[in-house]
Amino acid sequence: MSPAELFALPFMQRALIAALLTGLAAPAIGTFLVQRRLALMGDGIGHVAVTGVAIGLVTNTSPTWAAVVVAVLGAVLIETIRERGQTNGDVALALLFYGGLAGGILVSGIDGQSAASLNRYLFGSLTTISAGDVIVTMVLSIAVIGLSVGLAPQLFAVAQDQEFARVAGLQVRAYNLLVAVLAAVSVTVAMRTVGLLLVSALMVVPVATSQQLTRSFRTTIAAAMVLGAFASVGGLVLATFASYKANVAPGPTIVLLALACYVVAWPIGIWTRRRARLSEPFAEGQIPVHEACDEHPHAHGPGCGHLAVPHDDHVDYVHDGHRHAEHGAHYDEH
Amino acid sequence: MTTLDMAAVAISNGSVALGGRPVLRGIDLAVAPGDFIALMGANGSGKSTLVRALVGLRPLVAGEVRLFGTPLEQYDDWSRIGYVPQRATAAAGVPASVWEVVAAGRLTRRRLLRPLSRADRAAILDALEVVGLADRRRDAVSNLSGGQQQRVLIARALAGEPELFFLDEPTAGVDLPNQQVLADTLAQLKSRGATVVLVAHELGPLAPLVDRAVVLRDGRVVYDGAPLRDHEVHQPWFAEPHTHHHHHDAGTKQTDHVPHVGSPIDRPRGQNR
């Protein structure tokens, strides 16, 4: 089968549409997670969604919708624990992380058959997406993209400085919950593409790549979305071509391609930052706290010929218009 | 109308507890419109907590806060308030340009899902010009120095064109030239008729702007009246004993430890190192 025929197949086109949209949606919301230094939140939600998928499989309902519901609940729970409790975000994530994965494996074990199909969600199976799934994916990812781009000024302000946002009259808690819910939705959207275990990569790696080269938030989020779409579509195409020779899964290919972009961008980022530093002028008018004077062969002491001035707990010696104070083996300017 | 209703911001019998421990006790304070007041006191005296209580970031366990005569719980006209939180940096996990951070201050006057209007852009640019960072608006905030980032935070508060400013230690960790720029910025605000509540450990170049000083000690107001010099705030009856020494007090005539000596070592005043 030639590549042209292969890409003309309906399942392949469905896979391409799903890959493109998830590649755009995941980094869009991922940028706000990275901005709040919650880069692993996507991973935590992904693990919670495992339980949702398992419940959907066992009860013979839609695994996607079950995952959406459970992931949203999990995300809201993480946000609530983080905000209300003494626990910090990190620990809240860890609790949900393990609970979700253990719950998913336990539930799927109850019904022996579903363990194999759980794999499809853990590692992604772009090529088994049905027409109905594609429509759900399209609706959900367009909603995620629309909200995270449309509300970007508000979400940016909340993620940048929560206290300022509160005094500016923004509903900080509502926006935080919105980010959590959007993250949960994009996790469930992306689970068919890259799988629940790798979902966070599509939310974080394009952002990490683009911020190597950008100076503003707007270009960071735009570049992350472009990179995410490039990585997911490119990864799918690569995996398709490679499948003539070997059995290559699209999910890991997408993630590895995104990481390859990072590997390319990283040294460029270091180089440009270095250049930016070199072009910086010296910090204007810094006042040294401790200014040691240069070579000082003369040793001050009582009767040395310089005017002695008591200065708090020590003695300064007036020396050509400045005052020198002994400090260990050298003299300081006072 | 009582003075409490006339005040730009007022707190009556306000108490705040953090983790069950009282931090502010029975604070009464009213700031008249157009006043420039400095909240001073030692570390841990509750001055930052007071400002955070005034803007609603810390709940009161007793008492009441009123902003422009409206109780804080019902207050929703946040575009009249400009808040500069105490932060070491204006940067977060993702790069953001100076313009974008300052534009966030405009959200008090923007409606949802609307792009920046021409008036918004003009206000943001004006705020950047007041703090002297208009030429660096495209730079990432993380590339600026600490003092410049502090100025970005002030510009962010300015962008919403508020009438009442709360500044929490804007001079902490800022070098002297940057403190001078801050002082010039605040002088401009004052001349525009803004009300300013400034939290400061030491005033430095901001001292000439202050109309009224309030000194806190252990969560109580111990002084409320004419401006004090930094030195006086640390008198034993205000706070802990004066444990550190100043080498020189910029801008004030103070007798130095150097005895008066004639030429050739005499130097113009102010350069007496």
Residue of higher predicted confidence among A149 and A116:
A149
Give the chain B residue nearest A285 (alpha carbons): B177
Non-local CB neighbours of B273 within 8 Å, separated by 6+ positions: A322, A323, A333, A334
Alpha-carbon dihedral of residues A28, A33, A36, A38, nearest 10 degrees?
-160
Task: Give chain A's end-to-end CA distance (angstroms, integer).
Answer: 84
Residue A37 backbone dihedrals phi, psi, to 5 degrees? 60, 40
- CA dist A95 and A90 (Å) reads 9
Segments making up each domain of chain A, as ranges: 3-205, 298-334
Q: What is the pLDDT of residue B239?
A: 47
Q: How far does CA A126 lie from the centroid of its chain? A: 23
Neighbour-count burial of B226, counting CB atoms closer than 10 A to its CB (0-12 exposed, 13-18 middle, 19+ buried): exposed
- Average pLDDT estimate for A4-8: 86
Do residues B199 and B213 lie in contact, with contact meaning Cβ atoms separated by under 8 Å? no
- 3-state secondary structure at position A152: helix
Name the residue facing A307 among B177, B247, B261 (closest C-beta).
B261
Is the model's pLDDT at A286 over the cut of 50? no
Q: Which of residues 151-190 of B touch A (CB under 8 A)?
A: 153, 156, 160, 166, 175-177
Residues from chain A that touch B261, judged by Cβ atoms under 8 A, are: 307, 318
Please name which of A22, A75, A3 lies closest in space to residue A258, comparing C-alpha atoms: A22
Q: What is the DSSP string of chain B?
A: --HHHHSSEEEEEEEEEETTEEEEEEEEEEE-TT-EEEEEESTTSSHHHHHHHHTTSS--SEEEEEETTEEGGG---GGGEEEE---S-S--SS--BHHHHHHHGGGGGPPTT-PPPHHHHHHHHHHHHHTT-GGGTTSBGGGS-HHHHHHHHHHHHHHT--SEEEEESTTTT--HHHHHHHHHHHHHHHHTT-EEEEE-S--GGGGGG-SEEEEEETTEEEEEES---HHHHTSTTTSS---S--S--TTS----SSPP--TTS---TT---
Give the number of C-alpha atoms closer than 13 A to the C-alpha of residue A255, restricted to the C-beta side: 20
Establish if B262 touches chain A: CB-CB under 8 angstroms.
no
Judged by a CB distance cut-off of 8 A, whether residue A151 touches chain B is yes
**For residue B209, which of B179, B184, B245 has the smallest C-alpha distance?**
B184
Task: With cut-offs at 50, 70 and 90, classify the pLDDT of residue A71.
Answer: very high
Chain A contact for B55, CB < 8 A? yes
Residue A321 in contact with partner chain B when CB distance is under 8 A: yes
ipTM exceeding cut-off 0.85 for this assembly:
no
Q: How confident is the model over A280-300, as a mean pLDDT?
A: 56
Higher-scoring residue by pLDDT: B91, A113: B91
Q: Which residues of chain B have pLDDT under 70?
A: 1-5, 230-231, 233-273
DSSP A126: G
CA distance B35 to B3: 14
- Residue B143 corresponds to which tokens in the numbers above? 């590339």
pLDDT digits (tens, 9 = 90+) for A31-46: 999 998 888 888 889 9
The helix or strand, by DSSP H or E, that contains position A275, with its residue range, turns out to be helix A250-279
Six token digits for residue A161: 């400085």
Is beta strand A314-319 parallel, antiparallel or unpaired with respect to B212-217?
unpaired
Give the residue among B52, B60, B123, B122 at the shortest CA–CA distance from B84. Answer: B52
Contacts of A170 in chain B (CB under 8 A): 107
- Are A206 and A136 in contact by the 8 Å Cβ rule? The answer is no
Least confident span in A170-174, A301-305, B131-135, B153-157: A301-305
Chain B's closest residue to A279, CA to CA, is B143
pLDDT at B174: 81
Pick the residue from chain B with its C-alpha nearest to A284: B177
Burial class (CB within 10 angstroms; exposed 0-12, middle 13-18, buried 19+) of B128: buried
- Superfamily of the domain at B3-233: P-loop containing nucleotide triphosphate hydrolases (3.40.50.300)
Are A160 and B92 within 8 A, CB to CB?
A: yes
Minimal CA separation from B43 to chain A, in Å: 21
Quick check: B110 contacting A, CB < 8 Å? Answer: yes
Alpha carbon of A80: minimum distance to chain B alpha carbons (Å): 18
What does the mean pLDDT of chain A come to?
Answer: 85
* Amino acid occupying residue B164: L
* Contact (Cβ atoms closer than 8 angstroms) between residue A187 and residue A196: yes
Exposed / middle / buried, residue B3 (Cβ in 10 Å: 0-12, 13-18, 19+): exposed
**Chain B contacts in chain A segment 192-211 (CB below 8 A):** 207, 211
pLDDT of res. A224:
97
> Is the pLDDT score of A283 beyond 60?
no
pTM of the model: 0.81
How close does chain B come to A26, measured CA to CA in Å? 16
* Higher local confidence (pLDDT), A277 or B26: B26
Q: Write the DSSP symbol of residue A111.
A: S
- Among the partner residues B81, B112, B140, nearest to A167 by beta-carbon distance: B81
Inter-chain contact B247–A334, Cβ cutoff 8 Å? yes
Q: Which are the contacts of B12, defined by CB distance < 8 A and separation ≥ 6? A: B4, B28, B63, B64, B66
Cβ burial of B173 (10 Å; 0-12, 13-18, 19+) is exposed
pLDDT for res A329: 64
Name chain B contacts of A89, Cβ cutoff 8 Å.
none
Per the CB < 8 Å rule, is B92 touching A320?
no
CATH topology of domain A3-205: ABC transporter involved in vitamin B12 uptake, BtuC (1.10.3470)
pLDDT on residue A313: 67
pLDDT digits 0-9 by tens, A121-167: 888 888 788 888 899 999 999 999 999 999 999 999 999 999 999 99
**Going by DSSP bridges, is the β-strand pair A322-327/A330-333 parallel, antiparallel, or unpaired?**
antiparallel
- Name every chain A residue with its beta carbon within 8 A of the beta carbon of B177: 284-285
Angle between helices A41-58 and A114-123 (to 10 degrees): 150
Confidence of residue A236 (pLDDT cuts 50, 70, 90): very high
Which region holds residue B44: left if phi is over 0, alpha if psi is between -120 and 50, else beta?
Answer: left
